Amino acid sequence: MRKAFPVSTALPVTGGRAAQSSLAVKVSRNGRTGPIAASTVLAGTTMSLFGISWDIQWHVDVGPDTFFTLSHLMLYSGSAVAGIASLAMVLIATAAQRAGQSVDRFPGGKPVRVLGGVFRAPLGYLITGTGAALFLLFGLLDLWWHSLYGFDAVLDSPPHIGLFLSISFSMVGSVIVFAAARDTRWGRAGVILSIPVLIVFSPITTKAFGALPLPVDPDLVGTVLFATLLLILGTLTIGRRSTALTIAATLGVLQLILWWFSPWAARVYADATGLPLRDNLGDDPPELPSGIPVFMLIAAAAITALLWLSRKRGWSGRVAPQIMGAGGGAVVGLSLPIQSALFGDSGPTSAELLKMTATGAVTGVLAGYLAARLAVLLREHATASVTKGR
């Protein structure tokens, strides 16, 4: 990252000969720039995810809150890390282009003209950086909201939803960054790591609809939609049959780590600050990790089997993703009430199981439709020539 700062002195320099000596050009041509920047963004978004899970568990297990609890700081730092890395990459791309270097293959996705061409921003970093900038704005709005309402009484206040959306944008940017490098091993690994982070985080935003009188819990619909969409998106973007299973297995590992981390961090921090745990905590499972679908490997197996069948029968890409979505979505939908019962809720009725399976299948069709088209957009651009072999 440090190498990025002298870029500002290179900004006014233009012309092919200058391109040879520009630091920005050297950095942009270095094969390590792409993986280092992308990993930094992923580290930031993962910090945000762990921060939110810790914070939610803190509210459940301990309670007292300020703007500067460690879990809040972890949440803020995640966006800051992702945002600074993205800003650095946008500045390097801009400076490299001004120094005469073509940035068509610059890591991070298709270069986009920003502010009438003042900046050249790789699409992934543009979206990650925009998410981080919006996080700052919504942070200020949240501070004002707390001055009116007090601290963090509800998760689904308008500024909180704005903050969650901002973090989700950063995570979407991270997927785009890695997808652009899908021809490299680190790019594919990044897609497989960044998609589970987004699967866990994105349904939080659907809590905004929680107060509406809907026939199905929007949180559950959001979980089915994002989990199915992102599984299919990852599979079709990388183009390998095993991808859905690998993503689901990674999601399971992430769930296990969050399951251990969130209550552990809440209790250690409570000990360190001399605060007691709440009375009557019971043995409820950790709040956020227990909402992550636990049967995703079965859903991924269904999606993989339907992909195999589609290829064998020669089904068109116009139809096959929706069939994969219906199968995967139905499994996720059916599994959610069973999962709730396993974690202590009352057992689901057969009518409820039927309703959630049907909701899952319908939501899955939409997820498959969107996933295929988004995969086409992601596959538009590749940065293999810059980063191949890394």
Residues that bind other proteins (CB under 8 A): 9, 12-13, 15, 17-18, 59, 62-68, 127, 134, 138, 141, 145-146, 148-154, 157-159, 161-162, 165-166, 169, 208, 211, 236, 275-276, 278-280, 307, 310-311, 315-318, 320-321, 372-377, 379-380
169, 131 in Cβ contact below 8 A? yes
Q: Which is nearer to other proteins, 153 or 253 (CB)?
A: 153
179 vs 254 by CB, closer to other proteins: 179
DSSP state of 320: H
Rounded CA separation 212/325 (Å)? 26
Largest CA distance in the chain: 73
Would you say 29 or 241 has its CB closer to other proteins?
241
- What does DSSP assign to residue 2? G
d(CA 224, CA 233): 14
Count of other CB atoms within 10 angstroms of residue 124: 30
Cα angle 184, 188, 194 (rounded to 5 degrees) comes to 140
Query: Min. distance of Cβ 257 from other proteins in angstroms?
Result: 27
Look at the block and give the residue holding tokens 């866990």. 200
Give the residue with the Cβ less far from other proteins, 148 or 389: 148
- Beta strands per DSSP E along 25-145: 111-114, 119-122
Q: Which of 241, 255, 312 is nearest to 287 (CA)?
A: 255
Contacts of 26 (CB under 8 A, 6+ apart): none
Nearer Cβ to other proteins (70/249): 70
CB of 195 to other proteins, least distance (A): 17
Q: How far is the CB of 253 from other proteins (least distance, A)?
A: 28
Residues 370, 75: Cα–Cα separation, whole Å = 29
Name the minimum Å distance from CB 69 to other proteins: 8
Tokens of 17: 């000969």
- Nearest by Cα to 270 from 49, 52, 76, 70: 70
Q: Which is nearer to other proteins, 162 or 360 (CB)?
A: 162
Nearer of residues 14 and 102 to other proteins, judged by Cβ = 14
Q: Which is nearer to other proteins, 164 or 295 (CB)?
A: 164
Helix, strand, coil percentages in the chain from 3-state DSSP, rounded to 5: 70, 0, 25
Structural contact between residues 171 and 123, judged by C-beta atoms closer than 8 angstroms: no
Least distance between other proteins and beta carbon 151 (Å): 5
Identify which of residues 177 and 254 has a Cβ nearer to other proteins in the complex: 177
- What single-letter amino acid sits at 169? F
Closest distance of CB 301 from other proteins, Å? 17
